Structure 1
Amino acid sequence: MTTQTMNHTTEESAKVLGVLLKDEDRPSPSNPLSASVTFGWRAMLKIKHIPMQLFDVTIFPLIMTVMFTYIFGGAMGAVVSGTGETGGVAISEYVQFFIPGIFVQTLIMITMYTGMTLNKDISKGIFDRFRSLPTWRPSQLVGALLGDQVRYALAGVIILGVGFAVGFRPEGGLTGVLAAFLLLLIFCFCLSWVWTTIALLMPNEEAVMGVSMTIMMPLTFASNIFVPTETMPGWLQPVVDANPVSVVVASIRDFMLGTEDGSLFAVSIYCAVLVVVFAPLCMFLYNRKS
């Protein structure tokens, strides 16, 4: 084949490709929002195909709420009310105090599974394929966190449903409950960046769970979820009051019970700090794995 023939063939091929690949027919590249939503939808499809992933957001809230209400509610209710009397009245009063707290505890405990799921995907090599796609790089992590919001919302609905069944009556009304729900979902999204960072640092799921539980247990139990801070030793009260979980619980109680003590601003500060510190660190670690 002569050089002239080869050039002619190349020109013909270019013309054919030009017809097939018209600019108006080419799909537009995804933007950060659409890419994040797509990866979020992937996270939801995983729940569809593996429904056992919902075990922690269905059974765990039921067990925690019922156990603390009817087993510990009488004794703790006496502490909360300050009367020293146990029984049905104490339980009724404790439910008003306790449900907003267990609402927060359940959702923030579930956020730990975000890191475990991410670590599992990375270990299987799935994210190596994602990194080769022409998409906004953070969308792969942001989408996974957005998809988990569905699990958090489901757990929150279950907690509130059980709470209403055992006698919880929020004086803040529907508006207060919805505002509290939205605030907690935002905090959970911000907190998830911590577990995502840990997932990128740890070698396997077991290590992620161990580190996450080591961090989460003191935060949840050294807080005002179960009893008021005033019942604790004086030296411990400032530590508990500064605990981000305590600040979130206080704000959730404000919305649900129709009170306000200014804790919403502190929650906003904590959310901003979590995102500003851990989101860039997470992306640095994620890019380093490329």
Structure 2
Amino acid sequence: MTSVGRVRSEAGAAWRSFLRRRTAVFFTFFFPVILILIFAVLVQTNPGSGGSGGLFSKPAAYYLPGYLAVVVLFTPLSRVGSSVSRHRESNRFEKLATTPLTRAEWLLAHTLVNVVIIGLAGIIILALMALVTNAGVSFGALPLVAVFIALAVGLFCGLGALLGSFAGSADGVIAASNAIALPLLFLSDTFVTPDLLPSWFQPVMNLSPLTYFARGVRILTYSGGSSGGDLVVLAVLAVAFFLAGAYAIPETD
């Protein structure tokens, strides 16, 4: 079997495993619905304040990258991290080591499944933004937005693999994921605009990989301009984290 065949086979198994977990399927796709209904419909935005009146003072379209960032960040971290941890506990990687499937191929297969899952969740978010808000989102750049999503998913799948490889248990993976994801979500130019943060902290935001995803998507869908620089940085970080995650996955445990 070729490398492509091995990846396809593992991805198919991972996809079927996801579909069998009905609770996970429900909340993966229902969570974006709750998110949009709470923040975009109930809380709403207040662009009349000139964009400097606090949280949600920008037009609704400004926060689309934040909504996408939630699923791009949390879903890969928890799903891949938990999968690696479960495989370690059941000695699955020791069994996989006797097959031609490499660690990079295993991670690539699970990354592709997450790209599909999060892509579908992203479509739900975009559809809800169009239906329940007056957000003037530019949909002409959706193919490039899809590239940003795929790269970000690959990045956080790699980070999830790192967490799953080093955390002591599945509970430890979830705790570590939340400890990393929550600060990143609110300190990466997603929902909290840079002008609301101390001036000394604003350069620190550039250390977050999620910043390049949020800024790049916002440029494409809201502000206009070139997002090439953010795309390049995100691509480099995605490759680095993916390779680190694949290397960290144990062959035996």
Q: Which amino acid aligns with 2:19?
A: K
CA distance in structure 1 between the aligned counterparts of 2:89 and 2:50, rounded to whole angstroms: 47
Give the counterpart of 2:144 among 156, 175, 179: 179
CA distance in structure 2 between the aligned counterparts of 1:265 and 1:70, rounded to whole angstroms: 33
Name the counterpart of 2:88.
122
Deviation at 1:62, TM superposition (A): 1.2
Aligned partner of residue 192 in structure 1, secondary structure: helix
CA distance in structure 1 between the aligned counterparts of 2:65 and 2:33, rounded to whole angstroms: 14
Name the counterpart of 1:43.
14
Deviation at 1:280, TM superposition (A): 4.1
Q: TM-score, structure 1 length as denominator?
A: 0.77
Q: Which amino acid aligns with 1:177?
A: L
Name the counterpart of 1:141.
107
Deviation at 1:229, TM superposition (A): 1.2
Q: Which amino acid aligns with 1:129?
A: K
Deviation at 1:220, TM superposition (A): 0.8
Aligned partner of residue 286 in structure 1, secondary structure: coil
Name the counterpart of 1:64.
35
Q: Which runs of structure 2 are paired with 1:19-58 in the superposition (5 Å)?
A: 30-58=1-29
Aligned partner of residue 226 in structure 1, secondary structure: coil
CA distance in structure 2 between the aligned counterparts of 1:248 and 1:31, rounded to whole angstroms: 33
Task: State the structure with more CA Rg.
Answer: 1
8 Å CA contact retained: 1:194, 1:274:
no
Q: TM-score, structure 2 length as denominator?
A: 0.87
8 Å CA contact retained: 2:72, 2:152:
no
8 Å CA contact retained: 2:11, 2:109:
yes
Aligned partner of residue 6 in structure 2, secondary structure: helix
Q: Which amino acid aligns with 2:229?
A: F
Deviation at 1:258, TM superposition (A): 5.9
8 Å CA contact retained: 1:105, 1:225:
no
8 Å CA contact retained: 2:82, 2:173:
yes
CA distance in structure 2 between the aligned counterparts of 1:158 and 1:123, rounded to whole angstroms: 35
Name the counterpart of 1:264.
228
Give the counterpart of 2:51 among 65, 76, 81: 81
8 Å CA contact retained: 1:65, 1:162:
yes
**1:183-220 superposed Cα distances (whole Å, 9 cap, x missing partner):** 11222112210110110111211001111111111111
Deviation at 1:39, TM superposition (A): 0.6
Deviation at 1:180, TM superposition (A): 0.8
User: Residue 286 in 1 paired to residue 250 in 2?
Assistant: yes
CA distance in structure 2 between the aligned counterparts of 1:168 and 1:74, rounded to whole angstroms: 10
Q: Which amino acid aligns with 1:68?
A: F
Gaps of at least 5 residues in structure 2 are none
Equivalenced residues, count: 252
User: Residue 151 in 1 paired to residue 122 in 2?
Assistant: no
8 Å CA contact retained: 1:229, 1:241:
no
Give the counterpart of 1:275 among 229, 236, 239: 239
Give the counterpart of 2:212 among 231, 247, 250: 247
Identical columns (%): 17
Gaps of at least 5 residues in structure 1 are 1-29
